[in-house]
Structure 1
Amino acid sequence: MKIALIATEKLPVPAIKGGAIQIYLDAIAPLIAQKHDVTILSITHQDLPDQETRNGVQYIRFAESEYLSSLGAHLKNVKYDVIHLCNRPAWVPVLQAAAPNARWILSVHNEMFAVEKMSDEEGKACIAAVSQIVTVSDYIGRTITDRFPQAKGKVKTVYSGVDLKTYFPDWTTEGRRLKEKVRSELNLKNQKVILFVGRLSKVKGPHILLQAMPEILKKHPDTVMVFIGSKWFGDNEVNNYVRHLYTLGAMYPENVQFIQFVQPKNIPTLYAMSDIFVCSSQWQEPLARVHYEAMACGLPIITSNRGGNPEVIDEGRNGKVIKDFENPDAYAEAIISLLDSAGKRNDMGKYGRAKVERDFSWSNVSGNLLSVYENRR
């Protein structure tokens, strides 16, 4: 089959500027290309050619300002058997008109069928036009079927994944080496490290973790909380909220570090230096991919009871879900419990690594997608 994978207009593929969708496409495409002819369509970037082939995948990039019209023109001229459009249900009728004979698959990574984003008529037209809708979590699937019950037969959860070969738990030789190396570079040799990875945005809740620090430091004064991220993917500009975080962090100069945007390829080493991973999202998170990354590196996870996040947590086995997710003390209590017991952290980390190896490798994801592409029902 000839397959087109269409990224959003936000970021280029490969994920040189980050982005969960971009990471997803760049990871699955070479695996699917082992069996089929695969093209990724995305926006241009100054560091990338407009067209190239790598790992058996063709990349074609169009200017952001003309992206939708360029996609339409391309789909008229090149015949694809399957077209997988990411996260833009409103584009389906327009693009399908350019390729009416293709089998259309829509993947939904956020609440794109919400009332404020799509009318009833638009939603119904999109659902009628596509063969299947794959979602990144059961939660996102429910946001579609609760509003549009007629979509139930077409909606299927296909969880995202992670490159297991690039993440090394600290019980491995390479994991121990990376942990020592990065901790030495960051002057964290003998401290316990709590890690946050994500946009520095109020909806991600980093301020709540900073508010939890006083309680944590009472019990574990040798703890350091490391925040990796910026206000937006690849944008290290400091806005008022980020400035507020820096001000809060400055109250604990020995116990808080901020690291700005890190290229996705460099993220695994920063997980490797950590003891606990925390996701404090306050919004209805679709299912943050950081959970897969933390499990791959053998870290116990503390996450908020928001959106799809709890779907990958087996309570008490690979992590803990915070139901009182707005309360700094709830995070402090969970963090302290794990800091109290290296054995508990190790057991949770090993369970999480086994879980991600079993369920969330990129080969699993690509296999699940192939079953969708090849299903002719």
Structure 2
Amino acid sequence: MHLLIIAPEQIPVPPVLGGSVEISIHHIAKELSASHQVTIISREHTGYPALTKDGNLTIIRVPGGSPGNYLNHVLRRLAGHTFDWVQVDNRPLFLPRVKRQFPNTPVSIFLHSLTFVSAPRISRELAFRCLSKADLIVANSLSLQNRLKERFPRLHNKIKKVWLGTDLNRFRPPTPAEKMDLKNRYGLAASFTVAFAGRLIPRKGLPLLIRAIRMARNEVPEIKLVVAGKSQVHGYGMKLKKLARHYRVPVVFLGQLSHRQMHKLYWMADCFVCPSQKHEAFGLVNVEAMATGLPCIASNIGGIGEIIRDKHNGLLVDHYQDYRAFAARIAYLARHREWGKQLGKQAREDAVKRFGWKTSAGHLINLYDLYYRSNVKSKVEEAR
């Protein structure tokens, strides 16, 4: 099969810093290229050539700009090319024009969140019209799959689920020397270090986590927080630093790390906390942390509960809008570190079994192959 993947317009593939959609596209495509021809088309970047070839994987890069201008460049660049399958990632508005250009080719959309099928980005009516152009709709979690089925019941049979994964070689448990080196570098040697990673926006719950750590430090004073992420709201980062100073919570703000460096955040930590306050379709950071052998404490919301099993490979917080619920679990892990290490060991085992990129790619291509054999090949045979 020759598969085309159309990436969104905002971030190049592979991403220079971060971007969970682009990370997923790149890793899944690399796995699929072991036995299929895969072409990715993505926005250009000064650090990348216009065309990259690596075995069966080709990446074409075109000018970015607005979604409409980017799509114009994409479709012009693809004119005259044929593929066995076209996948659009996270941009339902692209589907009508893509299907018009490839009318006889199966087209799928891989959705990574509800953002681009929800107001104010798009009306429900327009989202339905766009999604109806897809032959398959792939959601990255059972939670997202169910939400989409509830919102678009007439598309029920088209909506499937494929979990994301992580790089199990890079996101691995650190050696004791690697862990201590990073702890020493950031003044964390004697601390119980809590890690947070994500965009610094209100829905990610960092203010709540700062309050939780203030309360947990009443029981375990050596708790400290390390934060990796960039503020996307003007002044929000300064507000968070001011809040930490107000509550006398020791925080190391690392800024936005490139994804190539993200494993080091998890290596210096003793647990990872994901205090999201709104629906998370999947929660890639939790899988990354689990793969490094960290126990995770996370909001029981969206697809997170499909990844973390409470008291088996991490801890889920049902009352995730209450900082005291997070404080209790953080303090408990800080007081029972051996139990936390056992959770982390189980988390690594579960990540290896369930959340490698090879597993994600295998499930995805199986979906496409089944559809292709059931629909496309049968039509060709009928035509003969």
TM bracket, shorter-chain basis: over 0.9
Is 1:125 the counterpart of 2:129? The answer is yes
Q: Which moved more, 1:332-341 or 1:183-192?
A: 183-192
**Counterpart residue number, 1:322:** 317
Distance 1:241 1:367, change over 3 A: same
Structure 1 runs (4+) greater than 6 angstroms displaced: none
Aligned length: 368
Is 1:25 the counterpart of 2:29? The answer is no
**Counterpart residue number, 1:235:** none
Structure 2 residue identity aligned to 1:268:
H
Residue deviations 1:133-179, cap 9 Å, x none? 1101112112211121122211111010000001232xxxx532220
Q: Which moved more, 1:128-137 or 1:268-277?
A: 128-137
Distance 1:124 1:202, change over 3 A: closer
Could you tell me how far apart the structure 2 residues matched to 1:248 and 1:121 are? 41
**Counterpart residue number, 2:87:** 84
Is 1:162 the counterpart of 2:166? The answer is yes
**Counterpart residue number, 2:227:** 227
CA contact (8 A) 2:213 2:223 kept: no
CA contact (8 A) 2:95 2:131 kept: no
CA contact (8 A) 1:228 1:260 kept: yes
Structure 1 residue 325, shift from structure 2 partner:
1.4
Could you tell me how far apart the structure 2 residues matched to 1:197 and 1:115 are? 26
Residue 104 of structure 1: which of 102, 107, 126 is its match? 107
Residue deviations 1:283-308, cap 9 Å, x none? 21112100110110111111112222
Distance 1:90 1:254, change over 3 A: closer
**Counterpart residue number, 2:345:** 350
CA contact (8 A) 1:222 1:255 kept: no
CA contact (8 A) 2:271 2:296 kept: yes
Could you tell me how far apart the structure 2 residues matched to 1:56 and 1:274 are? 38
Could you tell me how far apart the structure 1 residues matched to 2:121 and 2:234 are? 26
TM-score using structure 1 length:
0.93
Structure 1 residue 244, shift from structure 2 partner:
0.8
Is 1:62 the counterpart of 2:62? The answer is yes
Is 1:153 the counterpart of 2:148? The answer is no
Structure 2 residue identity aligned to 1:17:
L
CA contact (8 A) 1:197 1:290 kept: yes
Could you tell me how far apart the structure 1 residues matched to 2:100 and 2:47 are? 32
Could you tell me how far apart the structure 2 residues matched to 1:94 and 1:180 are? 53
Aligned pairs for 1:250-265 (under 5 A) are 250-251=245-246, 255-265=250-260
Structure 1 residue 191, shift from structure 2 partner:
1.3
Could you tell me how far apart the structure 1 residues matched to 2:175 and 2:41 are? 35
* Partner-residue secondary structure (3-state), 2:276: coil
Residue deviations 1:111-149, cap 9 Å, x none? 133354444543443343222111011121122111211
Could you tell me how far apart the structure 2 residues matched to 1:254 and 1:210 are? 7
Structure 1 residue 17, shift from structure 2 partner:
2.7
Structure 1 residue 249, shift from structure 2 partner:
2.1
Aligned pairs for 1:137-152 (under 5 A) are 137-152=141-156
Structure 1 residue identity aligned to 2:99:
Q
CA contact (8 A) 2:117 2:124 kept: no
Aligned pairs for 1:239-250 (under 5 A) are 239-250=234-245
**Counterpart residue number, 2:382:** none
* Partner-residue secondary structure (3-state), 1:39: strand
**Counterpart residue number, 1:180:** 180
Is 1:335 the counterpart of 2:338? The answer is no
The root-mean-square deviation of aligned C-alpha atoms, in Å, is: 1.7
- Give the gaps of 5 or more residues in structure 1: 233-237
Q: Which moved more, 1:147-156 or 1:245-254?
A: 245-254
CA contact (8 A) 1:75 1:99 kept: no
Could you tell me how far apart the structure 2 residues matched to 1:178 and 1:6 are? 38
Could you tell me how far apart the structure 2 residues matched to 1:9 and 1:89 are? 13
CA contact (8 A) 2:214 2:247 kept: no
Structure 2 residue identity aligned to 1:329:
R
* Partner-residue secondary structure (3-state), 1:321: strand
**Counterpart residue number, 1:200:** 200
Structure 1 residue 88, shift from structure 2 partner:
0.8
Distance 1:207 1:124, change over 3 A: closer
